[in-house]
Amino acid sequence: MKEKTLYVVIAGCGAVGGRIAGHLSSMGHSVVVIDRDEKAFNNLPWEYSGFKIRGDVAEIENLKMAKLKNADAFLALTDDDNTNFMVTQVAKKIYNVPMVLARVNDPSNLKLFEEAGVLVVSPVILTVQFILSFFLGEDAERKRKV
Amino acid sequence: MEKSRILVVDDEKNVRTMVKKVFEGEFDVDTASNAEEALDLLKKNKYDLVFLDLDMPVVNGIELLERMKKGENPIPVIMMTTYGSVEEAVKAMKLGAKDIITKPFTQEEVTKVVEEILKEKEDEESNIQDMEKRIKEALTVGDIKRARNMVLELFRLKPSSPIPHFLYSLVNEKEGKLEEAIKHLNASLSLDPSYEPAKRKLGQIQRSSKSSNERKERNQS
């Protein structure tokens, strides 16, 4: 049986958003990426087969245009935490999107997002954890030799 | 069975790729990035369905739709629009677009639209085949009036198809109006030069008319 494909809306088409959009579309999901900067779409891989909306994600019209109400997942991946927080709240509370995830650039904002029921990913925390993994744990020594 | 053939016309590569990915395998899918490329492909190939972007630069979807509708065999067209282009979408429907799908759309949405249109086309074809059968039966039993009425109904349903002209030629032939029959066979072939029944019937009438003339000449001499 054909697996159900997801409808994913991504805010922000930077290095992260562009790559995620590319991977998800090549996995067969329906993807829409929103960014106010046309040049940001250059971050999408050549084979990207989703939609692009040029506009400010903070404007509700652009979220309507992306049919956020139909989305299975919404990813707020801009480099601005305020924007990410605001749009994730719109996605959760107005459009009832089942899965809402945000990139949280400043780790001091993590608590705020988590308390608002948003899944979070922090590039700072991930980097710290990755580097520390070379020094902590049972296989730290083996990792350092690679 | 031959695969249905789809043409996707959109200046955005990602949209062309998406629609192609959804349907390739099940259908033969060609893509065009502008109106010129599309018209070229439409001349070369026979399509069962066309996806047409409304907002293309230079020649937009409406203009291309207008040009396509001037063609002899109208193809079902699905217009792809963006949110907010209601007026243009209404214009497209007035010009005969079969359906409108608003970007961004999911694979499920686009598949559903295509399935509905192809089903409708299939039903229409089966309905025509059924009418064709009934017309031939009426002619066999000599009910010319009923056959003529059904052909006229078919003209109304499929004005651009070669079939009603062909069937009308059979009615004319039955009535002995061979010149009229030839006129309708030529009209049928002008709509579709590859339509075999009309080609065969025209050859048959021309041969029988030639041998009848030869007989007359021999009798006179």
pLDDT score recorded for residue B218? 78
* Alpha helix ranges (H) inside chain A: 15-26, 60-65, 81-89, 110-115, 123-132, 140-145
Helix (H, G, I), strand (E, B) or coil at B31: strand
Chain B residues 65-84 with a CB less than 8 Å from chain A:
82-84
**Do A50 and B18 lie within an 8 Å CB cutoff?**
yes
Q: In chain A, which residue's Cα lies nearest the Cα of B102?
A: A65
Q: How far apart, in Å, are the Cα atoms of B98 and each of A74, B42, B61, B69, B85?
A: 32, 18, 14, 12, 17
Helix (H, G, I), strand (E, B) or coil at B204: helix
ipTM for the complex shown: 0.80
pLDDT score recorded for residue B49? 92
What is the enclosing helix (H) or strand (E) of B65?
helix B61-69
Helix (H, G, I), strand (E, B) or coil at A74: strand
Beta strands in B83-134 (DSSP E): 99-103
Query: What's the one-letter identity of residue A144?
Result: R
Two structure tokens written together for A1: 């049986």
Q: Which residues lie closer than 8 Å to B40 by C-beta, 6 or more apart? A: B32
How far, in Å, CA of A114 to CA of A129, rounded?
19
Is B155 touching A (CB cutoff 8 A)? no
Q: How far apart, in Å, are the Cα atoms of A1 and each of A4, A39, B24?
A: 9, 39, 18
How many Cα neighbours within 13 Å face the side chain of A145? 4
pTM to 2 decimals? 0.76
pLDDT score recorded for residue B89? 81
Taking 50 as the pLDDT cut, the residues of chain A under it are 1
Residue B204 φ then ψ, to 5°: -65, -45
Q: In chain B, which residue's Cα lies nearest the Cα of A7?
A: B106
Q: Burial of B13 by CB count in 10 Å (0-12 exposed, 13-18 middle, 19+ buried)?
A: middle
Summarised one tens digit per residue, pLDDT across range B158-174 is 887 889 999 999 999 98
How far, in Å, CA of B61 to CA of B157, rounded?
26
* Residue ranges per structural domain of chain B: 5-105, 126-220
Residue B221 has pLDDT above 70, yes or no: no
**Do B107 and A65 lie within an 8 Å CB cutoff?**
no
Q: In chain A, which residue's Cα lies nearest the Cα of B22?
A: A28
Instruction: Tell me if the bond preceding A98 is cis, omega within 30° of 0.
Output: no
Of B17, B104, B107, the CB nearest to A67: B104
Q: Which residues lie closer than 8 Å to A110 by C-beta, 6 or more apart? A: A104, A120, A122, A125
Summarised one tens digit per residue, pLDDT across range B20-53 is 999 998 999 999 999 899 999 998 998 999 999 9
pLDDT score recorded for residue B18? 94
Which DSSP symbol is given to A7? E
Is A53 touching B (CB cutoff 8 A)? yes
Summarised one tens digit per residue, pLDDT across range A92-102 is 999 999 999 99
pLDDT score recorded for residue A1? 46
Structural contact between residues A88 and A113, judged by C-beta atoms closer than 8 angstroms: yes
When the pLDDT of each residue in chain B is averaged and rounded to a whole number, the result is 88
User: What mean pLDDT is predicted for residues B92-120?
Assistant: 90
B126-220 belongs to which CATH class? Answer: mainly alpha
Of B20, B51, B107, which to mutate for an interface test with A (greatest number of A Cβ within 10 Å)? B107
- Chain A residue numbers touching B18 (CB-CB < 8 A): 25, 30, 49-51
Residue B43 φ then ψ, to 5°: -75, -40
Q: How far apart, in Å, are the Cα atoms of A127 and each of A80, A124, B193?
A: 18, 5, 69
User: Which one is predicted more confidently, A46 or B74?
Assistant: A46
Structural contact between residues A69 and A99, judged by C-beta atoms closer than 8 angstroms: no
Which domains occur in chain A, in start order? 7-145 (3.40.50.720)
How far, in Å, CA of B44 to CA of B100, rounded?
26
How far, in Å, CA of B58 to CA of A32, rounded?
25
User: Which one is predicted more confidently, B85 or A89?
Assistant: A89
For domain B5-105, the CATH superfamily is: Response regulator (3.40.50.2300)
Asked whether this chain's domains B5-105 and B126-220 adopt the same fold, the reply is no
